[in-house]
Amino acid sequence: MSVVAFRNARLACPAGGVTSGDLLVRDGVIVASGIVDIPPDAATIDCAGRTLAPAIVDLGVFRIDRAAFRAGGIVRVALMPDGARVLDDPGMVQRAALIGKPDLWIHPIAAATRGLAGQDMAEMAICASAGAKAVGTGRHWIADSGVMLRVLAYARDLDIAVIAHAEDGGLTAGAVTTDGETATRLGLPGAPAVAEALAVARDLMLAEETGARLHIRQATTAAAFDLIRAARRRGVRVTCGITPAHLHLSDIAMSDFRTYAHLSPPLRGEGDRQAALAAVKDGTIDVLHSGHDPHGPEEKRLPFVDSAAGMAGAETLLPLGLMLVRDGVLPLERLLAMLSVNPARVLGLDTGTLEPGRPADLMLFDADTPWQIDGTAFVGSEGNTPFDGLPVQGRVLRLWKGGREVV
């Protein structure tokens, strides 16, 4: 039996708030926190007043990038179904669920339709039994409402969430930006921001009809937030997420044709960015995730319309989240809920807090360490970040999965 005591910590828990004290772990499970009787045989780790918090559960990454996840304080990831091969086969789902252990637990999101083509339903039940923790539409919206209705109804019977991309493909085909002044000035093909609200409205109505759990992976517009708030008042089981990019950047970040700011969904206008911050503040947005989708120069050093959408977000997720705390948008415990327990709940996982009985998935970080984001210095596979050069604060110092340190 292994016993580890974390001493002199600033304990930050989504459920218990921020306190000072110790944390006791036995056989990879948290058994006590606060004022703790430390057994004489316990191994001790002095936290020196730094913050000990639940490690991050990153909901919706596109590539397994162990070094980036370690640097970002991430020990569990929900893997999107749009990999080199679509996760629509139980064998691939099972393999994905096993390859990261013990240091990284991968929770596959199985494809909702075969080949993510939006037509024929995939073997959702078999994929769930193989280890899938949700089903998803991938990078695209299911245009056929009949197919989406069946996906939601089947997922309801399996008691798993449907993770949806919310953009009406009829409006966004060929677009790389949001319609507006920036798109017009740059001469880039854009789609109206209402494309998101149209997709959200349809999927909310179908979720209400079926009683299914729906997670909008990225909600980024004021109209979408209003629809989600109204649906929750009616009892619809809907959650939503966002990346730091859509909270800290507007479409002005693309003004120099900088392809690192080519994202999906695209960056929005300043009004929608402010609406997103308000949605974080009032709790409409449940999950903050990295959207980790790294690309090398062969995919990014191209004309904007030809470049790949996506960013390397794992290593900057925590410090960009801490900016929201310092700006008074939300308290630290709420941020940690968005990074840990809320995504865990979407996936049906019993983790994400410092409460007794929870897995000892922990990160120790210094919230005040200043540094400047430099994509060329990232330890992950690529460094394509739209935040290159931004001064931030907050560094992950150490990381544990199930009480075992990740090195």
Q: Determine the pLDDT at residue 84.
A: 76
pLDDT band per the 50, 70, 90 thresholds, residue 330: very high
Average pLDDT taken over every residue of the chain: 97
Is residue 193 predicted with pLDDT exceeding 80? yes
Q: Determine the pLDDT at residue 85.
A: 86
Residue 164 CA to residue 78 CA, distance in Å, equals: 13
Q: Which residues contact 256 (CB under 8 A, 6 or more apart)?
A: none
Domain limits, the chain: 54-350+370-390
Q: How far is CA 253 from CA 45, 263, 273, 401, in A?
A: 42, 11, 12, 36
Mean pLDDT of 326-354: 98
Q: Determine the pLDDT at residue 279.
A: 98
**231-246 as b/e, with b when 16 or more CB fall inside 10 Å?**
beeeebbbbbbbbbbb
Is residue 388 predicted with pLDDT exceeding 90? yes
* 35-67: pLDDT as tens digits: 999 999 999 999 999 999 999 999 999 999 999
The DSSP string of 324-386 is: HHHTTSS-HHHHHIIIIIHHHHHTT-S-SS-STTSB--EEEEEEEEEEE--GGG-SSS----T
Residue 321 CA to residue 151 CA, distance in Å, equals: 33
Q: Determine the pLDDT at residue 188.
A: 97
Q: Determine the pLDDT at residue 230.
A: 98
* 359-373: pLDDT as tens digits: 999 999 999 999 999
pLDDT band per the 50, 70, 90 thresholds, residue 21: very high
The pTM score is 0.96
The mean-pLDDT minimum among 79-88, 330-339, 389-398 falls in 79-88
Looking only at the bridges linking them, the beta strands covering 17-26 and 3-13 are: antiparallel
Q: Determine the pLDDT at residue 83.
A: 79
* 282-324: pLDDT as tens digits: 999 999 999 999 999 999 999 999 999 999 999 999 999 999 9
Q: Determine the pLDDT at residue 210.
A: 98
pLDDT band per the 50, 70, 90 thresholds, residue 217: very high
Q: Determine the pLDDT at residue 314.
A: 98
Q: Report the Cα–Cα distance between both ends of the chain, in Å, rounded.
A: 22
Mean pLDDT of 1-23: 95
H/E segment holding residue 206: helix 194-210
Q: Determine the pLDDT at residue 16.
A: 93
* 110-167: pLDDT as tens digits: 999 999 999 999 999 999 999 999 999 999 999 999 999 999 999 999 999 999 999 9
pLDDT band per the 50, 70, 90 thresholds, residue 238: very high
Q: Which residues contact 227 (CB under 8 A, 6 or more apart)?
A: 197, 200, 201, 204
Mean pLDDT of 22-43: 95
Report the topology of domain 54-350+370-390.
TIM Barrel (3.20.20)
